[in-house]
Structure 1
Amino acid sequence: MAFFGHISSKTAHFVMKKILLTLAGLIGILSFPLPLLAEKAVASGVDQRINEAMAPLTAFMFRIVFFSVPLGGVMVPFVLVWLIVAALVFTVYMKFINIRGFGHAIDLVRGVYDAPDQQGGEVSHFQALTAALSATVGLGNIAGVAVAITLGGPGATFWMIMGGLFGMSSKFVECTLGVKYRKINSNGSVSGGPMYYLSRGFAEKGFPGAGKVLAFFFALMCVGGSFGGGNMFQANQAFRQTVIATGGEQSLLFEQGWVFGLVMALLVGVVIIGGIKGIVRVTSKLVPVMVAIYVSASLFILFSSFDQLPAAFSAIVNGAFSPEAIYGGVIGVLIQGFKRAAFSNEAGIGSAPIAHSAVKTDEPVTEGLVALLEPFLDTVVICTMTALVIIISGLYIEQGSDGIALTSSAFGQAISWFPYILSVAVLLFAFSTMISWSYYGLKAWTYIFGESRLADVSYKLLFCMFIVIGSAMNLGTVIDFTDAMIFAMSFPNIIGLYILAPTVRRELDDYFLRLNEGEIRRFR
């Protein structure tokens, strides 16, 4: 049932129609200069108008979400304390599930415990993992790491790794709840995520009103997050790398981000029309390929510079604890590391449970275990590789925090032609992230407005429009908007995780008891 269902379906339809009319107007404004495509000044003007329109809203949202508290002589955004404490609490409360559940999680992904006649979902463990990974393994691993090192120095890498390791426990809890409280629709499709475990789980605890309020707030922020981190940031950095690879200021696309955005919007639109099954058909093939390309290049550079690795690791460890560290000492470096880790792997944010809820299983704990692999692969493995390449290059000392440009230069220093390959990888990363986040945002949107055809179409059109907007905006504005939307989701989500954690703990203990006694069958 839609959140607005208790008001009337007419109200929801009225809102949808207004949104569609607004979209039509925006499309008209952006399409007006199309006959003048060759005139760079016009395109540049479109980019500038988009950026100026979004800047005030972005600044307002950023101030609200990232209010700071004093800690160790440094003002620390409260939302980071919120995420870090939660990750530590869940790691201890779940008896270090991030370590003891790791091996079993790999078996689950391999399909060792997949029953041939498994019911109650739409996709396999592997497909759910790749769909969620395609949303987390993205430009946060490439551009986000560069931003963290530029602002926090090499030591930020250490705290990124710590954020990934402890974030595995948060991811386990939220994805277990996502499956437990999901809603299976009459047509066999699945709707799940924090919206449902907040509303349904809190109702079980005797707090239905509080659950509905938190669920609505999460859904609203999730829609914004899908437009920000899952869309605008990806489009923005994919455009920047494309411009770099095609000649920089001499590129035909220079200052024509909206044109690039239109092309990406069309490609994304084609895929997301098919829903989660269409998305996983793409991500299950795309994720392994894009990760293989990026990881292979990273490993080639690291092995080629093997003699420099000890110094790089030394810089990471020393920078993490040095009182003279860049950006405000140890606390400042910790902030940058955890901030980028949280943005990259989204542990505690509440996005991943939406994808994992669609899995075919009647054991919620199994999907929680599969999900804990995400922060490890995303942050501990891929982000660390990116960081080592950047640190070995030494370019972070000279360049500004223009994200993807720094990473591209670092790779290009070792492999002269790699910026072209990186452009392909970046496009794949951005594309896969966008299509997965479109699903997250759609589920939040339909939770608010109901699962009607009108709601579905209006959201997908709006999502594609934000691809154009993100491509045209400045990086700083995009990052601020992205961080504000993504991190705001963590407030209602983690409240729910604390309240419902005892339920997860009981199910986890019961599952491992049955597993150890041989009650849970192996099929391979």
Structure 2
Amino acid sequence: MEKLDQIVASFSSLAWGLPLLILLIGGGIYLLIRSQFIPFTLFSHALKVLRGKYDDPNDPGEISHFKALTTALSSTIGMGNIAGVALAIAVGGPGAMFWMWVSAIVGMSTKFFTCTLAVMYRGKDSNGDLQGGPMYFIVEGLGKRWKPLAVMFSAFGMLGALPVVNVNQLKQAVNDILLIPNGVEVNVYSDLLIAAILVVVTSIVILGGIKRISNIASKLVPSMVLLYFILVLIILGMNYTEVPKYLLLIVTDAFEANFIKGDAFLGGMLGALILLGIRRGAFSNEAGIGTAPMAHGAAKTKEPVREGLVAMLGPAIDTLVVCTLTALAILVTGVWQSTSDNGVTLTASAFEDAMPGIGAYALMVCVFVFSISSLFSYSYYGSKCMSFLFGTKHKHIYNYFYILSIILAATTDFRTMINLIDGVFALMAIPTMTATLIMAPRVVKEIKAYRKRFQV
């Protein structure tokens, strides 16, 4: 296992080199400028679209704008917001959060472009049904000679969609919050029992397809965000004098890198901090990775720009709001310096510190819902990739492979799992961002036409 850990860590470090950083952040800044800062100029219009003002049940697609966003958010609002942020602060200190903010702001423009393309260039699967996602907009938008990029995305997408981090951290939360404090012995058998329960729950939902997934996600996501929001506000209210201090520290440490542990990057520890923040931001909001366009590509709309506008709200909700709340809860309670905990356990320590006796259990409820909803959406992404590569009649095979991976994740080390997904996400981003940057001028043309038609 130790050898496997080293191999996976090396793979992740290699994938997350300078070229990918330039592609994700440099590419995202280019898209932000080309769109004339559309995440800011059309933010209020995006909210109107999300509320259903322009919904038409006769439009092509399977699900509403709102359900498309909540399906996408049910995968991004998950362990990236609880375990990912905790890992970023444990390794990088407060400054890592600043670079996650940068990742989110740039990611809003990236999500707009990728999800607009997902509707502009929807393709048909082997059943003749309309589908969206990077693999389809690569082939439909760039032509058959670019199909190797689409195959690359789909192949890595099947691995990237595996629920290994969510399951691993849910298992850790159950062990650290429920079992160990109550004197229950934690071993491979208890891990397998947790995995078995997750297998049953996940199977019931994912075998029902996108409509069942989106219906459940549209109910779970808003309620879990609200509950988490209230819990963290209670923690911040109890430590309100510390909040301004740590908001300032997030900004100053972003350029001083006083707390980071690990190897230098781009000539120093500041480079390592920037890379850490961007990686955790990408893991959290998945902008540029290509997962969200698969959900948004299923939206009922004739207007690609409209779905892009709804999609760009994802990183704002996910990283600027939910991740910031987690970071502040960890920082103001001081657990990031007083314990050696990592991942979800560090966040649980913050909740328990502020609300002894109930804090960790309240977080447990959030962790469970975050994890379960993520499990549903990722299965949809993976089966779509399988369908593109091998045909729709074989896509159900992925669900069984997916369910088996739950057992693997429940019995494997956290760092191995997160390094694996980090590395695979990097390889998914290459075809997604390459195709998006090539077709960016087409999206810009579509924006101008949309603004003219609707006077926005």
Equivalent position of 1:281 in the other structure: 215
Amino acid of the structure 2 residue aligned with 1:156: A
1:78–1:172 distance in 2 versus 1, CA, 3 Å: same
Equivalent position of 1:73 in the other structure: none
What is the TM-score normalised by the length of structure 1?
0.82
1:316–1:426 distance in 2 versus 1, CA, 3 Å: same
Q: Partners of 1:254 and 1:297 in 2: how far apart? A: 31
Amino acid of the structure 1 residue aligned with 2:119: V
Q: Does 1:271 align with 2:205?
A: yes
Deviation at residue 187 of structure 1 after TM alignment = 7.0
Q: Partners of 2:38 and 2:196 in 1: how far apart? A: 44
Q: Does 1:480 align with 2:430?
A: no
Q: Partners of 2:7 and 2:401 in 1: how far apart? A: 17
Equivalent position of 1:341 in the other structure: 281
Q: Does 1:506 align with 2:445?
A: yes
Equivalent position of 1:290 in the other structure: 224
Amino acid of the structure 2 residue aligned with 1:326: I
Structure 2: where are the runs of 5+ without partners?
Answer: 262-267
Equivalent position of 2:291 in the other structure: 351
Do 1:142 and 1:407's aligned partners in 2 also have CA atoms closer than 8 Å?
Answer: yes
What is the TM-score normalised by the length of structure 2?
0.94
Equivalent position of 1:19 in the other structure: none
Which among 138, 150, 154 is matched to residue 215 of structure 1? 150
Which among 105, 109, 113 is matched to residue 46 of structure 2? 105
Q: Partners of 2:226 and 2:9 in 1: how far apart? A: 37
Amino acid of the structure 1 residue aligned with 2:208: G
Q: Partners of 1:402 and 1:358 in 2: how far apart? A: 37
Deviation at residue 186 of structure 1 after TM alignment = 8.8
Q: Partners of 1:464 and 1:131 in 2: how far apart? A: 19
Residue correspondence of structure 1 range 228-377 to structure 2 within 5 A: 231-248=163-180, 250-255=183-188, 256-322=190-256, 324-327=258-261, 328-377=268-317
Do 2:125 and 2:392's aligned partners in 1 also have CA atoms closer than 8 Å?
Answer: no
Q: Partners of 1:404 and 1:381 in 2: how far apart? A: 18
Do 2:95 and 2:257's aligned partners in 1 also have CA atoms closer than 8 Å?
Answer: no
Q: Partners of 2:67 and 2:302 in 1: how far apart? A: 16
State the Cα deviation string for residues 256-301 of structure 1 (Å, max 9, x = none): 3222112101211110111100101110111111111111101111
Aligned residues: 447
Equivalent position of 2:139 in the other structure: 199
Residue correspondence of structure 1 range 142-161 to structure 2 within 5 A: 142-161=82-101
Q: Partners of 1:310 and 1:53 in 2: how far apart? A: 44
Q: Aligned with 2:53: secondary structure?
A: coil
Deviation at residue 190 of structure 1 after TM alignment = 3.5
Q: Aligned with 1:473: secondary structure?
A: coil
Q: CA RMSD in A?
A: 1.9
Deviation at residue 62 of structure 1 after TM alignment = 2.5
Structure 1: where are the runs of 5+ without partners?
Answer: 1-50, 69-76, 518-524
> Which deviates more, 241-250 or 341-350?
241-250
Residue correspondence of structure 1 range 342-491 to structure 2 within 5 A: 342-400=282-340, 402-416=342-356, 417-452=358-393, 455-491=394-430
1:292–1:120 distance in 2 versus 1, CA, 3 Å: same
1:130–1:189 distance in 2 versus 1, CA, 3 Å: farther
Equivalent position of 2:265 in the other structure: none
Equivalent position of 2:123 in the other structure: 183
Q: Aligned with 1:247: secondary structure?
A: helix
1:85–1:393 distance in 2 versus 1, CA, 3 Å: same
Q: Aligned with 1:121: secondary structure?
A: coil
Q: Aligned with 1:246: secondary structure?
A: helix
- When Rg is computed on C-alpha atoms for both structures, the one with the higher figure is 1
> Which deviates more, 482-491 or 243-252?
243-252
Q: Structure 1 vs Structure 2: percent identity of aligned residues?
A: 38
Do 2:92 and 2:257's aligned partners in 1 also have CA atoms closer than 8 Å?
Answer: no
Q: Partners of 2:106 and 2:148 in 1: how far apart? A: 28
Amino acid of the structure 2 residue aligned with 1:243: N
1:432–1:188 distance in 2 versus 1, CA, 3 Å: farther
Equivalent position of 1:42 in the other structure: none
Equivalent position of 1:29 in the other structure: none
Equivalent position of 1:521 in the other structure: none
1:368–1:329 distance in 2 versus 1, CA, 3 Å: same
Do 1:171 and 1:368's aligned partners in 2 also have CA atoms closer than 8 Å?
Answer: yes
Q: Partners of 1:130 and 1:181 in 2: how far apart? A: 22
Deviation at residue 512 of structure 1 after TM alignment = 0.8
Q: Partners of 2:284 and 2:30 in 1: how far apart? A: 21
Q: Partners of 1:272 and 1:285 in 2: how far apart? A: 16
